[in-house]
Amino acid sequence: MVPSRQRDLPHTNDQRRPAPPMVPEIQPFLAIDGIPASGASSRRWLQARWRRTLGAFAALLLLLAVGLGSGSPAAASLDNDRYDGNIFSLYAGNGSLVPPRSSLALALEQHRVAVVVYYLDDSSVSKRFAPVVSELQRLWGNNVELIPLVTDPLRPGGKAAAGSLPAGDPSRYWSGLIPQVVVFDRQGQVVFDASGQVEVDRINGAVSQATGLPLPAPSGLDSTRSFNELNSEVVSGSR
């Protein structure tokens, strides 16, 4: 008699396979030591680092502002011969005067009335005269060619060498003084030439003569007044 095959019986508790070993969870870290990749501690570390970076950047900006303060508009002054920038922007509130829209040679060639103003950006007397030049632009507009010129690039010799210079060369008419105003009529002849703090009404008279246009209403304006150390206005001599 052949014994029957024994049926498989379920495992009892002591016959179960052992559970796989527990592997402890490993917290990931960034490549930089001490900086956790996640979690509240990471956020706090980044916030602190960001605050320190911002503080250092603000301190750098403050140092730059202090170091460059002498060249800033806030340090500009009418009373010195220091270069502060475009004198017409700083002291007349009119940056459109330079560069001039035409040259003297072109204005004479086109038979246009021209008003040439010789000046320097690093000159206190030129700074004080800037509002007068701006006033001329306001009064005469496109009826004249207003040509402010810095004297640095002008040829040496000036008026002394007038015979050897062409008619359209500004050096031919510069006296060596600043500020200087020269008015040319349509024929290219000089009808006005004066240096220093010239009264605007005197210049207006010459421009009226050269253009044939009536004079603006008499203003009696002969000087400038600084109203915020950076900008000036033309004021009456009776004030």
156 and 220 in a common domain: yes
Picking from 10, 37, 67, the residue at the C-terminal end of a domain is 67
- Whether 7 maps to a domain, the answer reads no
**pLDDT on residue 96:** 93
225 and 149 in a common domain: yes
121 and 102 in a common domain: yes
50 and 138 in a common domain: no
CATH assignment of the domain containing 229: 3.40.30.10
225 and 139 in a common domain: yes
Picking from 39, 67, 95, the residue at the C-terminal end of a domain is 67
Q: Is the pLDDT of residue 42 over 90?
A: no
**Up-side HSE of residue 63: CA atoms within 13 Å toward CB?**
6
| pLDDT over 90, % of the chain | 49
Rg (CA), the chain: 40
209 and 105 in a common domain: yes
Are the C-beta atoms of residues 224 and 196 closer than 8 Å to each other? no
Domain extent, residue 159, equals: 78-236
User: Distance between CA atoms of 204 and 5, rounded to whole angstroms?
Assistant: 133
pLDDT tens string 98-112? 999 999 999 999 999
147 and 103 in a common domain: yes
**pLDDT on residue 230:** 47
pLDDT tens string 160-202? 777 788 999 999 999 999 999 999 999 999 999 999 999 999 9
- Whether 92 maps to a domain, the answer reads yes
96 and 57 in a common domain: no
Q: Is 215 helix (H, G, I), strand (E, B) or coil?
A: coil
Give the DSSP H/E element, type plus range, for residue 140: helix 124-140
Picking from 13, 39, 67, the residue at the C-terminal end of a domain is 67
Q: How many CB atoms are closer than 10 A to CB 227?
A: 10
The domain total for the chain is 2
Residue 81: what residue type? D
